[in-house]
Amino acid sequence: MALSENDLQKLKLQLLKLKSEMIGAAETGEMAEEVVELDQARVGRLSRMDAMQAQAMSVETGRRRRLQLVEIEKALERIEAGEYGECLECDEDIHPGRLDAKPTATLCIACAEALE
Ligand SMILES: [Zn+2]
């Protein structure tokens, strides 16, 4: 196992922090979506188009955020199961530097590049 217990704890904390940031951002995002709806009821056509565009963007942002939240949850589950840090394709250890940059990574660099 390439990751020390210490590394694992650090990555776990990082994931938990990311998770709470995501949840916080989701709440703010939902508020923004509500504001757009209120605006739509009382503004003209042009502003309404702006508002619709802004809403489409916030829906897209929300979608990505939910996907990332799922990835974070899965990474935390792998930590609990003792499977964290192993490539899902080839079972090799994922480089700790890669996990540090992207704690939700599930593939080693070689497999990630092969799949691109
Ligand atoms: Zn691999």
Per-residue pLDDT reduced to its tens digit, 46-90: 677 888 888 898 889 889 999 999 999 999 999 999 999 999 999
Ligand 1 mean position, distance from CA 84 (Å) = 13
pTM attached to this predicted model:
0.77
3-class DSSP state for residue 101? Answer: helix
Residue carrying the six token digits 């951002």: 25
Give yes or no for residue 108 having a pLDDT over 80. Answer: yes
Ligand 1 mean position, distance from CA 90 (Å) = 4
Percent of the chain with pLDDT over 70: 84
Ligand 1 mean position, distance from CA 42 (Å) = 54
If phi > 0 it is left, if psi is from -120 to 50 it is alpha, else beta; for residue 94 that is beta
* Token digits of residue 71: 């990835």
Give yes or no for residue 39 having a pLDDT over 90. Answer: no
What does the pLDDT read at residue 115?
A: 87
- Contacts of residues 13-16 at CB distance under 8 Å and 24 or more positions apart, as own/partner, are 14/103, 15/72, 15/75, 15/76, 15/79, 15/103, 15/104, 16/76
Give yes or no for residue 11 having a pLDDT over 60. Answer: yes
| 9 close to 100: Cβ distance less than 8 angstroms | no
Ligand 1 mean position, distance from CA 87 (Å) = 5
Residues lining ligand 1 (ion), CB within 5 A? 87, 89-90, 92, 108, 111
Ligand 1 mean position, distance from CA 64 (Å) = 25
